[in-house]
Structure 1
Amino acid sequence: MMSYGCLRLLKRTPFLSRSFWTSDSGAEKMNVREVIEDLTQVSIEVRQEVTSVTNPREKEKIALRHIKKYAAKDAYTNEFQKGLEWFNVSRSISMRQDLTGKICVLDFFTYCCINCMHILPDLAALEKKFSIEDGLVVIGVHSAKFANEKDSSKILAAVQRYNIAHPVVNDAKLSMWQDIGIVCWPSLVILGPKGQPLFALVGEGHREEMFLYIKVALAYFKSLNEISDHSLPLKPSQHLLPVSKDTLLFPGKIHLANIKNKDRMVIADTGNNRILIMDLKGKVEHVVGGYAPAFRDGNFQTARFNAPQGICSLGDEIFVADTENHAIRKIDLVLQTVTTLVGTGEQSHDYVGGNVGKAQSLSSPWDVAIHHHKQEEKSVPVLMIAIAGTHQIWGFFLEDTIWWKKKSIMAGTCIAIVGSGREENRNNSYPHAAGLAQPSGLALAREKNMLFFADSESSSVRVVHLDDGKVSGVCGGDRNPGNLHDFGDIDGRQCTAKLQHPLGLAWDSVDSVVYIADTYNHKIKKVDLLGNCRTLYGAGKPTANHKFDEPSGLAVHLGSRIIYVADTNNHRIVSINLEDNKIDTISVDLPSETTHSDGTYKFDAEVSSDGGNLEIALDVKFMNDLKLNSDAPQRWSVNLPDKWTTQASKGDLKTPITLNIPKGELTVEFIISLDIITCKTDECIPKKLDLVFTIRRNSKAQSNVKLNEILEIE
């Protein structure tokens, strides 16, 4: 079943009367808000009708009939309010000047909302299929829920963090939202080439129908000569990010582990899609994964993640919440491999679970923690998972377990254990009757048998009592379980304390307190077991150095009394000494081979020992203001082992290289050499680069393997 998950406003915003576009037909103008209200229900009915038939042509006929009906209505969407700040464009976008002649998708979103995050891949796929020149434009209308989200600098960071490439406008006063009567995040409004509303889609899960509607709308309006192929003044904001990949990029979570009797820090370097394992001074010992987002098991060099967040450890194993791959991955430090434990790589809409291992799909796991569950005379490990996408806490059972109410659960099973799936702040003695709101951070108090969680959308910290599953509040939020808009920045007790979208927690067993990354207040706070919450650090207090930008991960070293903070938007890890409040930035020292300074890049792949085909596609990205000289020849050549063949020995950089690999058992290396001309503003720089591929044979590996590698050239 598709999900319509969305986050609703507490109260509907009042309608602000504004003028509408002048109609060419001279007919009486209609209230566009009333049309949108009608469209919301009608679009649901159209969806039901479309899904009831299997013939693609019949689906298109249904969509076309609806489009013709609403295209004829004399209602037109307003201009964007003047003076709004825009991103990914060099100037503001005008409905009349820029979007006339385009099919436009308005994506009303707020960047905290997990449902809004879920539709970003759908929009990216839509934009890949239909370009601006084809007649499709996607506009992100950022309509903030939290006060912090009205700040354009925070929206810019979110645009960069989530790799949003289309234009985004900061509609901080909800002018467009109010004009057309939007009531929840996310909402998608599809407009015709004159700004007439055609569809209104609420929540997530509309990928297939969006593709259908856009395809039919473009074809129909092209037949009327109403689609224009003009471009827009795009100016992507990614160039404003740190230029070196030898630094952190939006680190999400941090974990302290004891590995072989040594303290180690494990960092989810979320923006770089990798996990870093380093000592407490910042010297990196292992880089797990690569810059390019993907879903791939393998060794530390070949494995790939997609925006990993939560991390925890058990012995020599590290567990990772691979958020945008909707999976749980395991890093084995002895074998130096990454394997998938749970998840298919695709988002789930399952609120129950119960399947074993990779057969169980998930929805945006955001944090993980190991719980040692007591049964009879021993304890068994259970991986607790904060599932932000379905507003629940799940358990992955590493051994056969007798769970609550003497329920027997087989090893390898992953199942929902807390939360109904309804997005609310509802405490309850029965775990499945409780309602959570985007749980995003976990902290386990083993000696108390309590699991604290940061319930980000209710702006609260809550706790699961692990003896029976009871859920209760700790601090923040509102007593009304339906109110997810009670946030602020107030020290106090229980509900009188106010937080703003906290994402990270850490348990301090010495002082019996929970440290809170109060993310949107840019502060670190602490709360005791009675719910007394107060600010410790942030906003320049207690010293001017204590300034953070959306910190989202915490870990506490009990021996040295140091808190480590993932200061996400500042792209850094900081340490705070609890004794003297001294704050330091950890200098991350990456292994030198990751810099590619000698012009050699190394890659690994596994191919069946029975032989097969290997296709290599290169996505070349240039750093430090370098550009490819389009007028100069850019070529590659390949030096293959004996009996290996390819269709060509040289070609264009964008042409995938296909190799035919014979049967064999030996590990083999081959080299692809690049001979290219790059330029800066005032000079051209030739570069000769070697791409060294190590191919390992494995009888269990696939015969046909595709590698999509990002090649960063400095």
Structure 2
Amino acid sequence: MNDVSSAQPRRARVRAPELIGKGGWLNTGGQQYTLADLRGRIVVLDFWTFCCINCLHVLDELRELEEKHRDTVVIIGVHSPKFVHEAEHQAVVDAVERYGVEHPVLDDPELATWKQYAVRAWPTLVVIDPEGYVVAQHAGEGHAHAIAKLVEELEAEHEAKGTLRRGDGPYVPPEPVATDLRFPGKALLLPSGNFLVSDTTRHQLVELAADGESVVRRIGSGERGFADGAAGAAAFSEPQGLALIEDGAAVVVADTVNHALRRLDLATGAVTTLAGTGRQWWQGSPTSGPAREVDLSSPWDVAVFGGKVWIAMAGVHQLWTYDPVEQAVAVAAGTTNEGLVDGPGAEAWFAQPSGLAVSADGERLWLADSETSALRWVDLDGSVHTAVGTGLFDFGHRDGAAEQALFQHPLGVTALPDGSVAVSDTYNHALRRYDPATGEVTTLATDLREPSDAVLLAESGDIVVVESARHRLTRLRLPEEAVRVESVAHRTQRAATEVAPGKLQLDVIFQAPAGQKLDTRYGPSTRLLVSSTPPELLLGGDGAGTELERVLELNPSVPEGVLHVSAMAASCDDDPANEYPACHVHQQDWGVPVRLAAGGVGRLPLVLAGMDEG
């Protein structure tokens, strides 16, 4: 175990590197900033990318800190793209509005600042004190409580030294734009012929007439919140997926940031809660039980399959089910490890499943597995299969045979009557089609803008696409033949770490936050899981264990690949007098691209959590 003792001597203070980003600054009213401009303030850098569900969790975690310490703390998002689309400046502008980011954001499409701070994973938080020195770094989510405590300590220390500067921060909100929809997520055809749309950024559901444009009614107050009640009083937080239940009398809603399933009564507009507590699921929490008593994690889409509501649980890379008869939830597939592994549901790996659709014959549940840019399906027996996609770091726009075809972060799937499936290929701005009969992928339409879902109109043969970044529904006629586009393939643009072939020492460095200690009351408090793509990269050291250090054996005949590392540690308040200490689980998944080279490093350190490194 690699527990860094608090008794170790303090390291020499490290001056924070400058903030550099070719895309410039957002949410500052056009003002450009340097660290010198922020001297006297506590700065929290949030290295994020908008495809990453863990990054979106951190945005929500930071809201309370941001509000409570607005006069002393400046949070700066450093947008560091994974996908090619995320390097487009307008896409970052859209994402900042879509997710309600209320602090300055530095657009760093070339990862210049990411490299200066030696960041290895999304998300990573770095704390800089008022004198410009790095004092803490945390990888992963769930660190808001530790950062809040550190901020209070820094406020007291630098108030006493006279180095703390209070006042308004650099955040300037953008001008609001008047549109009927704002970054809609999913759509549903209602029995009436109207459409129900999740108006995600405005925290509402909107019913549109059959023309797909005229607003019939709005459900929800429009303010971010979690409240049941009548149509005008109920509150959502970034709702997404929708599915008809109760023979079309009601709709189940994936209320994503509230970590809940909600029920909309179509006749009255009343909203109630079906599942979830409003709290996010963490490792060690129950994975089944009464629906209102079990935590969920960022449910992104829902579909009725085999008599149950299936849930694309993007936040934990799993599929869950809600049983409306038993009013219970349970894990149906996935281990919480992020990746692409087929097989029995209990052994399968997913990566942010974000779109669900049941095949025309009811035999398959199709899913868009967004982070692996994959189209996958689940059989009625729960087994998981992949139609298109190879892993976390391969993506692009390529038609043809399924084993060669590529998507880029698809968010939606739509079953077609002939057994094929339309894929909302979000970051390629395209609608694609996979035909199981031929094993071929074709392109149906291009020049869409971040399509996130589509609804088939069976009678007319049209398909209505949710163009999320154009804030509208777009009706298309399915063409007789696919549109041909030039093939493009990509890999994630993070630079590979050069490692020596043979033995590689992997060290996951964990330091419990101040005032806490490792929780060993019920056995080992740490877990480490290691695998690789391709699997042949590792001759030894893969698998699960409880120690946070391990020797890996790299295959010299495999020149490059990706090491997948998942680490977890549990810590509790270190106060013997407290009979019920507060406990926290720290978890992070890394995908580390490596290249074998003579003279490469023999040790790979990964920081799970770090405190007070100044």
Q: TM-score range by the shorter chain?
A: 0.7 to 0.9
The match for 1:263 is 193
- Helix, strand or coil at the partner of 2:14: coil
The 8 Å contact of residues 21 and 106 in structure 2, kept in 1 or not, is answered as: no
- Superposition TM-score, scaled by structure 1 size: 0.64
| In structure 1, C-alpha distance between the alignment counterparts of 2:458 and 2:123, rounded to whole Å | 42
2:359 maps to 1:445: yes
Amino acid at match of 1:422: N
| In structure 2, C-alpha distance between the alignment counterparts of 1:300 and 1:219, rounded to whole Å | 46
| In structure 1, C-alpha distance between the alignment counterparts of 2:422 and 2:224, rounded to whole Å | 31
| In structure 2, C-alpha distance between the alignment counterparts of 1:296 and 1:231, rounded to whole Å | 32
Distance 1:338 1:45, change over 3 A: farther
- Residue 486 of structure 1: CA displacement? 0.4
| In structure 2, C-alpha distance between the alignment counterparts of 1:413 and 1:95, rounded to whole Å | 50
The 8 Å contact of residues 140 and 166 in structure 1, kept in 2 or not, is answered as: yes
| In structure 1, C-alpha distance between the alignment counterparts of 2:360 and 2:278, rounded to whole Å | 31
The 8 Å contact of residues 286 and 294 in structure 2, kept in 1 or not, is answered as: no
Q: Unpaired segments of 5 or more residues in structure 2?
A: 482-614
Alignment match of 1:101 (pick from 40, 46, 68): 40
Alignment match of 1:498 (pick from 381, 386, 406): 406
| In structure 2, C-alpha distance between the alignment counterparts of 1:232 and 1:295, rounded to whole Å | 29
Amino acid at match of 2:24: E
| In structure 2, C-alpha distance between the alignment counterparts of 1:531 and 1:309, rounded to whole Å | 30
Residue correspondence of structure 1 range 307-456 to structure 2 within 5 A: 307-314=238-245, 315-349=248-282, 353-371=287-305, 373=306, 381-399=307-325, 411-428=326-343, 430-456=344-370
Distance 1:114 1:516, change over 3 A: same
Give the stretch that moved more between structures: 415-424 or 265-274. 265-274
Deviations 1:173-195 (A, max 9, x none): 11111122111000011112232
- Residue 83 of structure 1: CA displacement? 4.6
| In structure 2, C-alpha distance between the alignment counterparts of 1:558 and 1:507, rounded to whole Å | 11
The 8 Å contact of residues 473 and 494 in structure 1, kept in 2 or not, is answered as: no
- Helix, strand or coil at the partner of 2:475: strand
Deviations 1:634-667 (A, max 9, x none): xxxxxxxxxxxxxxxxxxxxxxxxxxxxxxxxxx
| In structure 2, C-alpha distance between the alignment counterparts of 1:573 and 1:278, rounded to whole Å | 10
| In structure 2, C-alpha distance between the alignment counterparts of 1:518 and 1:123, rounded to whole Å | 30
The match for 1:243 is 178
The 8 Å contact of residues 42 and 151 in structure 2, kept in 1 or not, is answered as: yes
Amino acid at match of 2:255: D
Amino acid at match of 1:330: R
Alignment match of 1:85 (pick from 24, 30, 46): 24
The 8 Å contact of residues 57 and 141 in structure 2, kept in 1 or not, is answered as: yes
- Residue 417 of structure 1: CA displacement? 0.3
| In structure 2, C-alpha distance between the alignment counterparts of 1:341 and 1:93, rounded to whole Å | 46
Residue correspondence of structure 1 range 182-261 to structure 2 within 5 A: 182-229=119-166, 231-237=168-174, 239=175, 241-243=176-178, 247-258=180-191
| In structure 2, C-alpha distance between the alignment counterparts of 1:363 and 1:186, rounded to whole Å | 17
| In structure 2, C-alpha distance between the alignment counterparts of 1:391 and 1:347, rounded to whole Å | 13
- Helix, strand or coil at the partner of 1:155: helix
Alignment match of 1:472 (pick from 382, 385, 393): 385
Residue correspondence of structure 1 range 163-182 to structure 2 within 5 A: 163-182=100-119
- Residue 232 of structure 1: CA displacement? 4.6
| In structure 2, C-alpha distance between the alignment counterparts of 1:549 and 1:579, rounded to whole Å | 19
Q: Which has the larger radius of gyration?
A: 1
The match for 1:120 is 59
The match for 2:550 is none
Amino acid at match of 2:421: V
- Helix, strand or coil at the partner of 1:108: strand
Amino acid at match of 1:192: D
Distance 1:226 1:232, change over 3 A: same
Amino acid at match of 1:441: G
| In structure 1, C-alpha distance between the alignment counterparts of 2:428 and 2:22, rounded to whole Å | 26
Amino acid at match of 1:418: A
The match for 2:534 is none
Alignment match of 2:10 (pick from 64, 69, 72): 69
| In structure 1, C-alpha distance between the alignment counterparts of 2:314 and 2:169, rounded to whole Å | 35
Amino acid at match of 1:420: T
- Helix, strand or coil at the partner of 2:38: coil
- Helix, strand or coil at the partner of 1:185: coil
The 8 Å contact of residues 22 and 108 in structure 2, kept in 1 or not, is answered as: no
| In structure 2, C-alpha distance between the alignment counterparts of 1:533 and 1:231, rounded to whole Å | 53
Alignment match of 2:395 (pick from 469, 487, 498): 487
The match for 2:608 is none
Distance 1:79 1:393, change over 3 A: same
Give the aligned length.
475
CA RMSD of the aligned region, Å?
Answer: 2.0
- Helix, strand or coil at the partner of 2:316: coil
| In structure 2, C-alpha distance between the alignment counterparts of 1:234 and 1:205, rounded to whole Å | 24
Distance 1:82 1:556, change over 3 A: closer
The 8 Å contact of residues 48 and 123 in structure 2, kept in 1 or not, is answered as: yes
- Residue 224 of structure 1: CA displacement? 1.6
- Residue 234 of structure 1: CA displacement? 3.2
